[in-house]
Structure 1
Amino acid sequence: MRYCFALDLVDDPILIAEYEKHHERIWPEIRESIQAAGITVMDIYRTGNRLFMIMETDESFSFARKAEMDASNPVVQKWETLMWGYQQSLPTARPGEKWVLMNQIFKL
């Protein structure tokens, strides 16, 4: 299954550069966590301060399972806290929501 998400970064060139630097070499535990959740592909793109993430999953993936795994993993929690210093919610996000799941409106 493919999912697409959007999120904004704080609109500060220095913070954006730091955020990208963190993603040049993510922590091994984060990579392991992503893969263990059944995520087979995760690509993040940026334009300005807007991020777009494409995530492909296998049949074992569920959002509930991923949330449980993340909540019980202190390294993931540390990473998420660090990343939140660079990120900001989209205007359309629900309270506490970071990455907003996008609706597909066209397919060729």
Structure 2
Amino acid sequence: MAMKRLCFTCDLKNNPELIEKYKEYHHRSNTWPEITKSIREAGVLQMEIFLAGNRLFMIMDTKDDFSLERKELMDAENSIVQRWESLMGKYQQTPEFTRNGEKWVLMEKIYDLEELGVLK
């Protein structure tokens, strides 16, 4: 199956108590099943989120035909996803380098070891 990888960054409010609460919401026993379902239905095959300080880094492996625009439309029509996004917005902040006020920012890939062919 063909797939593509997308990476995003987002900042949390720099408050240790809020960061811990955000982490709790993302523990597998606390994540709303409707959120997981909506992610899968949009074509996301695998998702991981990492934390350093108050900066988040998300890796998404998606079906090759995955579309961010289609995912955003699906999310806009899903009241449970909207409730989740509103709740998570209490912990997130817009990174200072964004222009559009977005919280999760698509990152530009600038290096790929495999593309160098060094290990082949």
TM range (shorter): over 0.9
Percent identity, please: 52
Number of positions where the alignment pairs a residue of Structure 1 with one of Structure 2: 108
TM-score, normalised via structure 2 length? 0.87
Superposition RMSD in Å: 0.8
Out of 92-101 and 64-73, give the one that drifted further.
92-101
TM-score (norm 1): 0.97
Q: Is contact 1:37-1:60 (8 Å) kept? A: no
Answering whether residue 96 of structure 2 is matched by residue 91 of structure 1, we say yes
Which of residues 72, 76, 88 is equivalent to 1:67?
72
Higher Rg: 2
Structure 2 residue aligned with 1:56: 61
In the other structure, the counterpart of 2:81 is: 76
Structure 1 position 3 matched with structure 2 position 14:
no
SS at match of 1:31: helix
1:18 aligns with 2:21: yes
Moved over 4 A (4+): none
Residue 54 of structure 1 aligns to which amino acid in structure 2?
I
Shift of 1:101: 0.6
Distance 2:68 2:48 in 1: 17
Which runs of no fewer than 5 residues in structure 2 stay unpaired? Answer: 114-120
- Asked if residue 33 in structure 1 is aligned to residue 41 in structure 2, the reply is no
Quick one: distance in 2 between partners of 1:76 and 1:90?
A: 22
2-side partners of 1:89 and 1:9: how far apart? 8
1:9 deviates by 0.2
